[in-house]
């Protein structure tokens, strides 16, 4: 881990819970809009757009909890009480977050490292899931899967996730997504929404097959590609720069004015390949840059899935 990254993450040790408090404030600022998406739209897509879901009866409408679009108006008018339709397969979702902690996630040229930005995204998803009454599970991966938390619908799970995600000891190594998915496919319940938060850089071989296998088992897989702007684009006029390979620690001096155009082309090609794997497998992928907000694009993307 570079000295810059050590200094940036050292505030966790120096400030104690202060750093977690800062993260929680940021999560709270993002979470409210996403809670409604989890509570209504996401469940609608999973539970009622799939085949084989049978009507089971009516139950009284609970304001603030039930989706008003499911009110049975005929039954409600007859009884002067509000009723919603209930279905056989209806129950809370398991929301599972798989977070990349490989060395490339410790890169950043903006206010946040990719790992810090991804932590806020993971915390927002976790809090939203708990608030909407769903179980939240969590795991981190680099060369191997680690820090696994079984799905639990308790707010304590949110705090555990943040504590794991800000611990420097959990970072470093390669991007072993294949191993992580191969492990989880035997563990996750069918009624699961899986969010994979990663920069998808340096992925091990076979990840596309493992991803398709996962998508064939569970309800939904969504990739959240977290990128620094310099992962995607090098501007002209930078000149020579010394770079360290996050996976091998080799240091190279490169003239970016000579190689920048080729880098930009290869970066676009690599991103397109990742996107194509998700799209061809019937899954979703959203690209997020660390200098941009993520909640509105995420909500908009899920809304478009319902059209």
Both 178 and 210 in a single domain? yes
The share of the chain scoring above pLDDT 70, in percent, equals 78
Both 40 and 63 in a single domain? no
| 165 within domain boundaries | yes
Both 260 and 152 in a single domain? yes
CA 3 to chain centre: 28
| 68 within domain boundaries | yes
| 49 within domain boundaries | no
pLDDT at 249: 73
What's the rounded mean pLDDT across residues 143-159? 93
How many domains are contained in the chain? 2
| 270 within domain boundaries | yes
Which of 16-20, 23-27, 251-255 is modeled with the greatest confidence? 251-255
The share of the chain scoring above pLDDT 90, in percent, equals 43
Q: Model confidence at 251, in pLDDT bands (50, 70, 90)? A: confident
Both 181 and 64 in a single domain? no
| 231 within domain boundaries | yes
- Count of residues for the chain? 307
Residues spanned by the domain of 215 = 3-44+91-305
pLDDT at 184: 96
Both 208 and 162 in a single domain? yes
Q: Residue 71 pairs with which residues in a beta bridge? A: 84
Which comes out higher in pLDDT, residue 123 or 23? 123
Both 83 and 96 in a single domain? no
pLDDT at 88: 46
Both 61 and 103 in a single domain? no
Both 215 and 77 in a single domain? no
| 138 within domain boundaries | yes
Instruction: Kindly list the distances between the CA atom of residue 27 and the CA atoms of 24, 123, 124, 301, in Å, as whole numbers in the listed order.
Output: 5, 6, 5, 19
Instruction: Give residues with Cβ within 8 angstroms of 99, minimum separation 6.
Output: 118, 119, 122, 138, 139, 140, 141, 165, 197, 198
Q: Model confidence at 81, in pLDDT bands (50, 70, 90)? A: confident
Which three-class secondary structure string do you get for 174-228? CECHHHHHHHHCCCCCCCEEEEEEECCCCECCCHHHHHHHHHHHCCEEEEEEEEC
Mean pLDDT for the chain overall: 81
Q: Residue 224 pairs with which residues in a beta bridge? A: 197, 286
pLDDT at 52: 45
pLDDT at 46: 61
Q: Using the predicted structure, report yes or no on whether residue 146 has a pLDDT greater than 80.
A: yes
Both 83 and 95 in a single domain? no
Residue 189 gets the label, from left (phi > 0), alpha (psi -120 to 50) or beta, of beta
Which comes out higher in pLDDT, residue 31 or 198? 198
What's the rounded mean pLDDT across residues 274-303? 89
| 200 within domain boundaries | yes
pLDDT at 190: 87
C-alpha R_g of the chain: 21
Both 299 and 232 in a single domain? yes
What's the rounded mean pLDDT across residues 31-49? 64
Both 232 and 255 in a single domain? yes
- CATH code, domain with 279: 3.40.50.410
Both 83 and 199 in a single domain? no
Q: Model confidence at 45, in pLDDT bands (50, 70, 90)? A: low
pLDDT at 43: 63
pLDDT at 180: 97
pLDDT digits (tens, 9 = 90+) for 130-141: 888 889 999 999
pLDDT at 306: 56
pLDDT at 40: 61
Q: Using the predicted structure, report yes or no on whether residue 65 has a pLDDT greater than 70.
A: no
Q: Model confidence at 2, in pLDDT bands (50, 70, 90)? A: very low
Residue 108's Cβ-side half-sphere holds a number of Cα atoms within 13 Å equal to: 21
Q: What is the dihedral of CA 90, 211, 230, 106, to 10 degrees?
A: 80
């Amino acid at each position: 881990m570079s000295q810059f990254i050590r200094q940036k993450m050292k505030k966790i040790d120096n400030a104690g819970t202060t750093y977690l408090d800062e993260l929680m404030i940021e999560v709270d600022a993002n979470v409210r809009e996403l809670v409604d998406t989890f509570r209504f739209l996401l469940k609608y897509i999973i539970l009622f757009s799939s085949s084989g879901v049978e009507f089971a009866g009516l139950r009284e409408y609970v304001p603030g909890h039930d989706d008003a679009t499911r009110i049975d108006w005929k039954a409600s008018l007859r009884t002067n009480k509000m009723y919603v339709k209930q279905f056989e397969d209806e129950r809370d979702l398991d929301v599972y977050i798989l977070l990349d902690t490989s060395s490339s996630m410790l890169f950043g040229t903006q206010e946040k490292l990719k790992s810090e930005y991804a932590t806020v995204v993971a915390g927002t998803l976790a809090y939203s899931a708990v608030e909407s009454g769903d179980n939240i599970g969590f795991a981190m991966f680099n060369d191997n899967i680690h820090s696994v938390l079984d799905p639990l619908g308790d707010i304590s799970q949110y705090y555990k996730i943040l504590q794991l995600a800000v611990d420097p000891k959990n970072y470093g190594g390669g991007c072993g997504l294949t191993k992580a998915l191969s492990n989880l496919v035997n563990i996750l319940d069918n009624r699961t929404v899986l969010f994979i938060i990663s920069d998808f850089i340096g992925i091990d071989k076979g990840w596309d097959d493992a991803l398709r296998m996962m998508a064939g088992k569970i309800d939904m897989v969504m990739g959240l590609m977290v990128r620094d702007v310099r992962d995607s684009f090098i501007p002209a006029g930078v000149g020579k720069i010394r770079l360290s390979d996050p996976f091998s620690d080799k240091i190279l001096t490169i003239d970016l004015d000579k190689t920048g155009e080729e880098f930009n082309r290869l970066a676009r090609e690599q991103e397109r390949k990742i996107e194509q794997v998700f799209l061809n497998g019937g899954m979703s992928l959203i690209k997020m840059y660390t200098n941009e907000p993520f909640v509105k694009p995420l909500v908009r993307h899920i809304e478009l899935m319902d059209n």
